[in-house]
Amino acid sequence: MKAFTTGPFTGKHMTAIMVAFFAVVIGVNLIMARYASSTFGGVVVENSYVASQKYNQWLQEAAQEKALGWSATASRLSSGQVAVRLSGAPAGASLTGYVWHPLGRQPDRPLAFAAQPDGSFVSSQEIPAGRWRLRLEVQAQGKKWRTESEIS
């Protein structure tokens, strides 16, 4: 049987194989690093020390909000507007919110909601197609309730 090469395997061949191997590894690492840094900036809070000082306050507020027993169901209408139905909230509640793209590729978009005759709320703004996170804040009778859900 005849070998694929016509001459002996030399140091030049091994050098070429090693250079090609490491070029592929470094190239893949650079591409992956570029994708990682372009999709998530890494900022969860601006100042982690200040956030840590407010942690117990946030837990207390969350417990108070949970005790209210309110809930919200959000959906996207075919027009691109967001519809929200509140459960357990008293009549006359006001609703505000905003949507944000989970990968930060698009800017946050504030939403203003108008109450509908059936008790639901519909945003006056449309949101583009795609995956969005919705943060809502309901205020009624001097109480505040917040929630977050996904809209797609």
- Say whether both 29 and 80 belong to one domain: no
Rg (CA), the chain: 27
| 4 band by pLDDT with thresholds 50, 70 and 90 | low
In a domain, 64, yes or no: no
pTM comes to 0.64
CA neighbours closer than 13 Å in the CB half-sphere of residue 101: 13
- Say whether both 24 and 75 belong to one domain: no
In a domain, 54, yes or no: no
Residue 68 and residue 145 in contact, taking contact as beta carbons nearer than 8 Å: yes
- Say whether both 75 and 144 belong to one domain: yes
In a domain, 47, yes or no: no
Q: Which domain holds residue 84?
A: 70-151
Give the tens place of pLDDT for each residue, 71-111. Answer: 999 999 999 999 999 988 888 889 999 998 887 778 889 99
- What is the pLDDT, as a whole number, of residue 91? 83
Nearest to 68 by CA among 49, 89, 41: 89
CA neighbours closer than 13 Å in the CB half-sphere of residue 23: 6
